[in-house]
Structure 1
Amino acid sequence: MKTIIVAVLASLCLSAPALANQGQPPAQQPPAKEMQIGVNSVYVPGGFDSNSDAFVIVNGIFPSGCYKWGRAEVSHTDAFHHEVKSIAQVSQGMCIMVLVPFQSEVRLGKFASGEHTLRFLNGDGTYIEKTLKIE
């Protein structure tokens, strides 16, 4: 009999917060912020020609579970020099504090034939520079 009473009381204690919020809209989380992140390595495949869309694979580590891949911004300083910024979506609120590896494909577009320099900016003044050959 005591175990039934304890079970009922425990069940009421656990469901009290859910009952208190009945009829109210769920709490709205603040919108995610965008933040420039660094990448640890870049894989540049070969075999691209001037008619194909070039791409690379970037790898890195997010500092917490609040981060997720957003997008990459590609800017062209001239016809053969390009800068890439990696942007993450950072949610506000509670998140797990562990390092989270990520990998993403970054589409660069069509390039002219020749050797292109790709600079991946990390947001802190450092960068990774790679070469992409277009046939």
Structure 2
Amino acid sequence: MKKTILAIFTFAFGAGLVQAGVPTQKVIPVTHVFVPSGFDSNDNSEIIITGFLPNLCHKTPKANAMVTGNKIDILLTSLYYDESNPFCPEMVVPFTETLELGVLDKGKYEVTVNGKSIYKKEAKLKVNESTSAAIDDFSYAYVEHIDKESARDGHVILKGYNPSDCFELDSIEYISNGKDTYSILPKMKQVRAHCPMKLVPFEYEWKVPSDIDRNEVLLHVRTLEGRSKNTLFYR
């Protein structure tokens, strides 16, 4: 009898461990959807989503998008482990997820995130007509990092590498979406015809504008090959 009870207990305990150790997909809270301005129909359009994992039972946030006509439906989920898992302490973990939407046709898009949940968020994305067949109409600096700690108050430092010493910074322009995001465009110029392959580190300081009345803004920095670096900036 004791052996039978022990066997039942062992089976139940083992089943509990299996349940605790096998993750499922679960919709997670979204706090804001940032939509940069300035995308053309030859760009890799992106949106940036912030949210939080309610506790450490949630792992690895992931976004999936489906584009149907002018509607973009996004599902943001995480791997969720049962709360009986011993590695699930109560700790809120914020995250910032950059979602690449790919090359989109010219037009205005309605964006819905987690549409069938209590965490539903909506936004609008505008894609302009391109003036070139190539991705991006300009050569942008290869920015690897946006330094907010070392810069002067109200500034950031764009850090990265140029592919050759024949490239120099031409200008740093920006496009504001008027609500919450600055698209930063560090444009380069070629100053010599001969361009030996030589990585040259750079640091470009840039003052964050103050025309958006919001404590938290997204800095969306365009880089080479249609990519970007994104960070939240707090005033």
Q: Same fold (TM over 0.5)?
A: yes
TM-score (norm 2): 0.42
**Post-superposition CA distance 1:51-87 (Å, at most 9, x none):** 11111111112110121233212122x3211110101
| Counterpart-to-counterpart distance in 2, 1:69 and 1:114 | 32
Aligned residue runs from structure 1 range 1-135, under 5 A: 30-76=21-67, 78-92=68-82, 93-94=85-86, 95-121=88-114, 123-125=116-118, 127-135=120-128
**For the residues of structure 1 that align with 2:61 and 2:53, how far apart are their CA atoms?**
12
Deviation at 1:48, TM superposition (A): 0.8
Other-structure match for 2:213: none
Q: Which ranges in structure 1 are unaligned for 5 or more consecutive residues?
A: 1-26
Secondary structure of the 2:48 match is: strand
Separation in structure 1 between the aligned mates of residue 56 and residue 116 of structure 2, nearest angstrom: 20
CA displacement, residues 30-49 of structure 1 (integer Å, 9 cap, x when unaligned): 22221122311011111111
Give the TM-score of the pair, scaled to structure 1.
Answer: 0.70
Q: Is the 8 A contact 2:22 2:81 kept in 1?
A: yes
Gaps of 5+ in 2: 1-16, 129-235
CA distance in 1, matches of 2:92, 2:61: 17
Report the Cα offset of residue 108 of structure 1.
1.4
SS state at 2:30 partner? coil
Q: 1-side partners of 2:52 and 2:116: how far apart?
A: 14
More RCO (CA 8 Å, sep 6+): 1
Alpha-carbon distance change, 64 to 126 in structure 1, aligned in 2, over 3 angstroms: closer
Calculate percent identity across the aligned residue pairs: 24
In 2 relative to 1, CA 122–101 (structure 1 residues): closer, same or farther, beyond 3 Å?
farther
Q: Given residue 47 of structure 1, which amino acid in structure 2 is its aligned partner?
A: G
